[in-house]
Homo-oligomer: A and B are copies of this chain.
Amino acid sequence: MAQKVKLSTIAETLGVSTATVSLALRDSPLVALSTRDRIKEQARALGYIYNRRAASLRTSRSGIIGVVVHDIMNPFYGEILKSIESELDRDRQTFILSNHYDSVEKQRNFIETLLQLGGDGVIMSPAIGTPPEDILLAEDNGMPAILIARSIDGLDVPIFRGDDTYGISLATNHLIGLGHRVIAMVGGTDQTSTGRDRYQGYVNALRKANIEVDPALRIPGPRSKQGGFEAAVNFLSLPQKPTAAVCWNDLVAIGLMNGIARAGLVPGRDVSVTGYDDLEEASIATPSLTTVWNGQSEVGRSAARALLDKLSGSHEPDGIHLIKPEMRIRQSTGPLRHNGHDH
- Give chain A's interface residues, CB within 8 Å of chain B: 1-2, 49-54, 56-57, 62, 64, 72-73, 75, 78-79, 81-82, 85, 94, 96-97, 99, 112-113, 115-118, 140-142, 225-226, 229, 255, 258, 261-262, 280-281, 284-286
Contact = CB atoms under 8 A, between A and B. Distances in A.
Nearest to A50: B116
A293 B22 CA distance: 52
Contacts of A94: 96, 113, 117
5 contacts: A1-B142, A49-B112, A72-B72, A96-B97, A225-B281
Given A1-B141, A53-B118, A57-B57, A284 B97 contact: no
Contacts of A261: 286
A285 B258 CA distance: 7
Please give the count of copies of this chain that the complex contains: 2
A49 B119 CA distance: 12
- Which of A62, A94, A115, A280 gathers most chain B CB within 10 Å? A94
Contacts of A225: 281, 284
B62 A72 contact: no
Given A53-B57, A64-B117, A72-B97, 4 more contacts: A1-B142, A49-B116, A73-B78, A85-B99
A72 B74 CA distance: 10
A155 to B, nearest CB: 17
A52 B141 CA distance: 15
A226 B282 CA distance: 11
A54 B59 CA distance: 12
Nearest to A85: B99
Given A50-B116, A229-B284, A261-B286, A140 B57 contact: no
